[in-house]
Amino acid sequence: MKRNEILKDRISVREYAADNQKFVIEEFTDSISVFNGIKMADIEGKGEIMAAMAEELGCYLRTKGIEARFVERISSNEILCLKTEIIPLEIVTRNIVAGSMAGRLGIEEGLRPGNTIYDLFYCSPELENPLINDHHAVALGFAGYDELDEMYSVARKVNGILSVLFDRAGIALVDFRLCFGKLPDGRIVAASEITPDTARFWDKETGERLDKDRFRMDMGKIGDSYRSLYQRMKSVLQ
């Protein structure tokens, strides 16, 4: 399908209008960025790994009954997605404490809480995507309580499915971010891909990080880690 005008131009993902108005095309670039674009680099082959991972997980989650905007991979680094009305909320599901939660609450990374934690963020780059709660989201008109229930339910199901999958590969799914969109008929679907840019993955034995924290923390070997994560995931999908 032909790419038309750019709808969203982010450093690691570009979204294009497609010929057919029902779809958009997501192009994964080789770029990586953190801290709101302050730190950036190019990782050779990254776009291809991201598209391959989006394809494998998109297809796998579909077989498990998860509705998402992902339709199919259309080139080495592009995927076709259903066009959705984006809901400006993100749910971060946390199985192990890390990242912003560890920093905000002064907890050491690696703690396994007794329950799964769901953080709700308002997607507003100008406000640096603040943490909010359900009542804020409803009061601000971003979603109704029933729609939030649906989003948490999708996050919970995705977490269950992917935690088991990655566990089989010897990898802990530490946390992941999920965005949501509304289809023209009002159904809410997962509207972001789960990749090492949007989720944390730790080797269960060594604790080695296989995700974007390697770049945040100047740990190097980012391309190698992303490739290794993809290969290990693929080996348990076959």
CB atoms within 10 A of CB 124: 11
What is the per-residue DSSP string for 1-58?
--EEEEEEE-SSEEEEEESSTTEEEEEE-SEEEETTTTEEEE-TTHHHHHHHHHHHHH
Binding residue (CB under 6 A) for ligand TMP from 46, 69, 200, 232:
200
Out of 198, 202, 215, 222, name the contact with ligand TMP by CB under 6 A: 198
Q: How far apart are CA 73 and CA 52, in angstroms?
A: 8
Token match 């348990």: residue?
236
| Closer residue to ligand TMP (CB): 99 or 181 | 99
Q: What element of type H or E holds 202?
A: strand 199-203
The radius of gyration computed from the CA coordinates of the chain, to the nearest angstrom, equals 17
Give the nearest distance from C-beta 143 to ligand TMP in angstroms.
Answer: 19
User: Using the rule CB under 6 A, which residue among 33, 100, 116, 228 binds ligand TMP?
Assistant: 100
| Shortest CB 129 distance to ligand TMP, Å | 7
Applying CB under 6 A, the site for ligand TMP has a residue count of 11
Minimum gap (Å) between residue 212 Cβ and ligand TMP:
7
Residues 124-183 touching ligand TMP, rule: CB under 6 A, are 175-177
- Write the DSSP symbol of residue 126: G
Which x/- pattern, by CB under 6 A, does the window 58-97 give for ligand TMP? ----------------------------------x-----
- The β-bridge partners of 211 are none
Residue 199 beta carbon to ligand TMP: minimum distance, rounded to whole angstroms: 5
Shortest-Cβ-distance residue relative to ligand TMP:
99
- Least spacing, CB of residue 238 vs ligand TMP, in Å: 25
The residue (of 3 and 157) whose beta carbon lies closer to ligand TMP is: 157
Tokens of 90: 């993100």
Q: How many other CB atoms are found less than 10 A from the CB of residue 82?
A: 17
| Closer to ligand TMP by Cβ: residue 129 or 228 | 129
Residue 121 beta carbon to ligand TMP: minimum distance, rounded to whole angstroms: 7
Instruction: Determine, following the binding rule CB under 6 A, whether residue 57 of this chain makes contact with ligand TMP.
Output: no
Contact indicator for 104, 92 with CB cutoff of 8 Å: no
Say which residues have a Cβ less than 8 Å from residue 206's Cβ, sequence separation at least 6: none
Which positions lie near ligand TMP, rule CB under 6 A? 92, 98-101, 175-177, 198-200
